[in-house]
Copies of this chain bind each other. A is one copy, B any other.
Amino acid sequence: MQIAILGRGVVGGGIVKLVEEAETPLLRKIKIKKILVHRDEQILDDQHTTDFVEIVNDPEISVVCECIGGVEPAHSYVKRALEAGKHVVTANKKMLAVYAGELFDLARQKGLVLAYEASVGGGIPWIDNIKHIQRLEPVTSFQGIFNGTSNYILSQMAEKDLDFAACLKEAQELGYAEKDPSDDIDGGDVCYKVCLSALTAFGKIADPSQVDQWGIRHLTKEDFAWAKANGRTIKLLGRGRQTGEKLSLQVLPVMLKKTSLLARVGLNFNALETDSASLGPETFVGQGAGSLPTAHAAVQDLLDLAEGKKGIVQSAEPGQLTDEEEQTFYLRTNRADFFQDVVAERISEKAFLTKKLTLAEISSLVKESGDPAAFLAGVADE
């Protein structure tokens, strides 16, 4: 099976390494014919090219593995690869979540595989395991720690009593966080992964911009102090649940009891949990990012293709987002006066626990209040 890899960065480079050092017979079936690089000086030999047309027009290349990241040109390359009759493996959660409707339709029409194990949970076989369970029964809900960067920051804040800025800076120095960390700390990255998990688990396409999304940018030591004093820690969770035709998706920091399993997932690890009728909760914990774990997941997709094991994508419909679950929230805001009607318990001048509300209700109240630096977190029963 001859493939092309688009991009030789963190993930693309990892795939090249794993395939070139192949030690299993199955892995040796994969031949990298072309690697698309950005600049002429990255062309090391004939295998490298800066011209995507060379790849898309090559009839010997049956699979394109997209590791460019970002929305464009990744999206148009993937589209053109599918139009040219090539299977696609991608690690690009943002591009895929944004263009899921278009790209999965195209793949289905063409009878092609569009595989995305590497786009969620790094090395954790998350997509594969959801599909595994579905052979037998529906996955009714999922939740988890989907972002390693924010988990690293939260784990450091919990352990060392440091403030957010110091932990973010350390994560950046260690290479866990980008210079512009917005997608990691504002919940965007989790949101894309939640949408792709919902697509897999529920067969529904959700528009990421319609998902209520809260991050950890405005988290302070004060918030953590309350969590600790109450036997809790804070984790940024993504959650999805299907009830009948309705889909509930959330991206939200949650104050978890310290005795819960997710509370114990430290460093930059991810932990992803399914729930289904006969299995109950199953949790997968592993490296959710990084060159080799993510490359491993992409190569697993390639191996499925090499073995003819990958089914084409089932039809997916736009999901109807809803939010009926009422929960208690922790809110710290400079506009505490605005929230008098929903306060259940005051914690400080600025912070309080709310009455039971839906995430949509509290989100719209915070928006109305006009405080751009409010910190919102769920308070979990467990």
Contacts and interface: CB of A to CB of B under 8 A. Distances in A.
Interface of A: 14, 18, 23-24, 26-27, 123-125, 128-129, 132, 134-138, 259-261, 263-266, 277-287, 292-293, 295-296, 299-300, 303, 309
Contacts of A27: 135-136
Contact of A265 (B261, B278, B299): B261
B280 A287 contact: yes
A24 B134 contact: yes
Nearest to A278: B292
Contact of A124 (B278, B282, B285): B282
- How many chain copies does the complex carry? 2
Contacts of A136: 18, 24, 26-27, 296, 299-300, 303
B123 A279 contact: yes
Nearest to A297: B279
A interface majority secondary structure: mixed
B264 A279 contact: no
A370 to B, nearest CB: 40
Contacts of A281: 286-287
A153 B188 CA distance: 42
7 contacts: A26-B135, A125-B129, A132-B300, A259-B266, A261-B266, A277-B292, A278-B295
A284 B124 CA distance: 10
Contact of A292 (B129, B266, B279): B279
Contacts of A278: 14, 18, 123, 292-293, 295-296
A123 B277 CA distance: 11
Nearest to A134: B24
Contacts of A279: 123, 286-287, 292-293, 296
Nearest to A291: B278
Contacts of A261: 261, 264-266, 285
Contact of A284 (B26, B134, B283): B283
Nearest to A266: B259
Contact of A286 (B125, B134, B266, B280): B280
**Which 7 interchain pairs have the tightest Cβ spacing?**
A264-B264, A278-B292, A282-B286, A283-B285, A123-B279, A278-B296, A135-B303
Contacts of A26: 135-136
Nearest to A129: B125
Contacts of A299: 136
Nearest to A26: B135
Contacts of A264: 259-261, 263-264
A132 B27 CA distance: 12
A21 to B, nearest CB: 9
Nearest to A25: B135
A192 to B, nearest CB: 22
A311 to B, nearest CB: 10
Contact of A285 (B14, B125, B285, B296): B285
A296 B14 CA distance: 35
Contacts of A128: 132
Contacts of A260: 264
A309 B279 CA distance: 22
Given A261-B285, A282-B286, 8 more contacts: A24-B137, A26-B136, A259-B266, A264-B264, A279-B293, A280-B286, A282-B285, A285-B285
Contacts of A280: 123, 286-287, 293
Given A280-B287, A282-B284, A283-B286, A132 B137 contact: no
